[in-house]
Structure 1
Amino acid sequence: MERQHPAPKEKTMLADHPSTTDTSISVETSVDTARRSLLLGSVAAATLSTLPAAARAQTAWPSRPVRVIVPFPPGGLTDAYARMYCEHLSRKFGQAFNIENKTGAGGTLGAGEVAKAAPDGYTLLITTSGPVWQAKVLYKKLGYMPVKDFDPIALFPSGALLVAVNANVPAKNLRELAAYARTNPAAWGTYGAGSWAHMLGDVVHKSEKLKMVVA
């Protein structure tokens, strides 16, 4: 039987940070831990936990190398975490955990490949929340069903989102950036369409009623 993972409820608002005396914008969120985490370990729905007990007893996992799909380019935070954990897993289990960077479409191409892989526990996905949660909202035709096609097995540490501006922009915080963007052409660039950073930019854009390009 497939596990059901209800979509987390999210409440987002922009407010002045209560612990500071400046007027910088802070984004306060009340959201499921899995949504906020930048790394979510997943496998296809019929994982080892759903295999018959007899089958698990007959074959110790892993008995051969494991594919680990990272749906983002090498060098990023997701890739760095994946390589660190895969090195540890390889030592622990005595089998190779081989990373494959399958990039494109905000991470959905790599996630889609895992969804179509044999549900035997030998194809894993290490990803941000984008291809799992945001993509379901942003794309009409994904090619996979995040809730049905993936079974979360591990939650990795999350990283902070950094907002930076050109040194020539006279803004020291988000409030000043919003004021600047009301009278000057501005763009909010992110590491990928549909990513958490992209959605955060959209929140700022709509909450502050800006004419800002978010990409």
Structure 2
Amino acid sequence: MDKAVYSVDGKELRKIQLDDTVFAREVSEGSIYHAIRNELANLRVGTASTKNRSEVNGSGAKPWRQKGTGRARAGHKRSPLWRGGGVVFGPKPRDYSYSLPKKVKRLALKSILSLKAAGEDFKVIEDFTIESGKTKDLVKILTNLAPQEKAIVILKEDDAMIRRAGRNLPWVKFLSYNRLRAHDLFYSKNVIVQEGAALNLNEFYGEGK
């Protein structure tokens, strides 16, 4: 498929050929679901913890005799039925992370790229950098291509100056072409891809890779 390449001023410069196996393939919704679920699970800290009846403070003595009081039977104050007692089947610290097959992850990312490339909010921009590292210079470029809505910029290589310029912009995230995240990419309103990154994506995710 052909896509227009825009300048940093928002003007169309030329066309670029994008690999159909990466940017125009059939979308696999199942792989997208599993990839996003995997990323969110791997981010969980898993530190939630509760105390059961053997761990809470409290006397182990029987509060009152078994019969004759007219009240319900009670064994000790640490019972889950009592205020301040233990928790039944509560959470304990655990590791929520798990591995996802590489083929499923790759299929999910190609599906998301195809989904985004089919819309008007997917734009290819000429390679650029922010030599000054200033936020205002980056905003000037981005506003020519997309409104200030949630956006992803895919870089051809890790650029410290671009990341520095964009660290004060909560609506922009930067991803390297070989380290994409399904969750960020799927939920972004606008996807801006550097021309070099688009060519790298053709090779990195292309057929036979």
TM-score where L is the length of structure 2:
0.24
Specify which structure has the higher proportion of strand.
1
In our comparison, the structure showing a higher alpha carbon Rg is 2
TM-score where L is the length of structure 1:
0.23
